[in-house]
Amino acid sequence: MKIAEAFAVQDYGVVVTGGASGLGLGFAEGLAENGARVTILDVDAQRVAEETESLRGKGLDVRGEVLDVTDHVALDKAIDSAAAAYGRLDVVFANAGIDSGPGFLGSWVGSVRPRRTEGALENYTDERWNRVIDINLNGAFATLRAGARHMKPRKSGRMIVTTSLAALLVEPAIGSAYMAAKAGLAHLARSVALELAAYNITVNSIAPGFFITNIGGGHAKNPEVQRTLARTIPMHRVGFAEDIKGLALFLASPASAYITGQQIVIDGGWGLGAAD
């Protein structure tokens, strides 16, 4: 197979949850730039309108729908309608996610990392826990389920979930609900991969390190936060949505046809440990 054929996604029908911002927008744009037809599903009405218009302005085949992934009935309908619009559903990205607020430790102050009262286990509210699990884990589960209903009869499809480096490593600055949701999602993806392998459907996880997006109110856009983090990342820089397009295209395209149930870390070496 020629390399251009290996990565061909021309006319693929694609759905991306949380596709109106950050990494999801990178997945949507990256696939659409390569000829796929992409539906963005996102709860942020303004971003859905703006980003859909902007991508269409670039000549890309993109449609957008306002959707909350915690509404599983609406999610089923939205995925049915995307599949109907394209006459096929080739790729589903279960990507929508939120942060879970502070963890039990704050950032380094000199050689000390202060404990944070609001991130302590005894102060973790049910509301905070449930919201993160509902969006980051239950929403992704419902997205995979809706995708399977279309892909299984066709015996073909690609499912890609966005987990996190925090699914593999405990990071005390990140709330425990986020880590539990992402670790659960990574294992859910493995389980679904095993179940659907006989149907020629692959299911893989993308585990990003630190990317500049709008998550957590966009605090990562602060240049000082970026500089501080870049020092701890072996490649000495944070990630951008553009950095993730290649991996998304790889996992969505024929090039990765024999890879399933894997979690691929994309983090500039962050998870390896400290370097120079």
Ligand X SMILES: NC(=O)c1ccc[n+]([C@@H]2O[C@H](COP(=O)([O-])OP(=O)(O)OC[C@H]3O[C@@H](n4cnc5c(N)ncnc54)[C@H](O)[C@@H]3O)[C@@H](O)[C@H]2O)c1
User: Which residues are tagged catalytic?
Assistant: 178
CA-to-CA distance for 192 and 31, rounded, in angstroms? 23
Minimum CB–partner distance for residue 181 and ligand X (Å): 8
Minimum CB–partner distance for residue 199 and ligand X (Å): 25
Q: Write the CB contacts of 63 (distance below 8 Å, at least 6 apart in sequence).
A: 37, 38, 39, 40, 52, 82, 85
Token pair belonging to 77: 């309908």
Residue 275's Cα: distance from chain center in Å? Answer: 27
Question: Segment 252-271, which members bind ligand X (CB under 6 A)?
Answer: none
Q: Given 3-state DSSP classes, what are the helix, strand and coil percentages for the chain, each rounded to the nearest 5?
A: 50, 15, 35
CA-to-CA distance for 268 and 235, rounded, in angstroms? 5
Which residue lies nearer to ligand X by CB, 8 or 208?
Answer: 208
Site string for ligand X, 134-163 (x = CB under 6 A): -x---x----------------------x-
Question: Segment 171-190, which members bind ligand X (CB under 6 A)?
Answer: none
CA distance readout (Å), 58 to 14, 62, 238: 18, 10, 27
Instruction: Point out which span in 62-70, 113-121, 152-160, 196-204 binds ligand X (CB under 6 A).
Output: 62-70
Residue 42's Cα: distance from chain center in Å? Answer: 12
- Looking at residue 109, the DSSP 8-state letter turns out to be B
Instruction: Point out which span in 168-176, 189-197, 212-220, 245-253 binds ligand X (CB under 6 A).
Output: 212-220
Which residue lies nearer to ligand X by CB, 216 or 254?
Answer: 216
Minimum CB–partner distance for residue 154 and ligand X (Å): 25
213: contact with ligand X by CB under 6 A: yes
Q: Which of 13, 24, 64, 101 binds ligand X (CB under 6 A)?
A: 24
Question: Segment 91-130, which members bind ligand X (CB under 6 A)?
Answer: 95-98
- Looking at residue 98, the DSSP 8-state letter turns out to be -
Token pair belonging to 210: 């630190």
215: contact with ligand X by CB under 6 A: yes
21: contact with ligand X by CB under 6 A: yes
Minimum CB–partner distance for residue 162 and ligand X (Å): 4
Q: At what angle do helices 22-32 and 241-252 cross, to 10 degrees?
A: 50
211: contact with ligand X by CB under 6 A: yes
Q: Which helix (H) or strand (E) holds 76?
A: helix 72-86
17: contact with ligand X by CB under 6 A: yes
Number of residues counted as binding ligand X (CB under 6 A): 29
* Lateral strand order in the sheet of 37-42: 62-66, 37-42, 13-17, 91-94, 157-162, 201-208, 263-266
List contacts with ligand X (CB under 6 A).
17-18, 20-24, 42-44, 47, 67-70, 95-98, 135, 139, 162, 164, 208, 210-211, 213-215
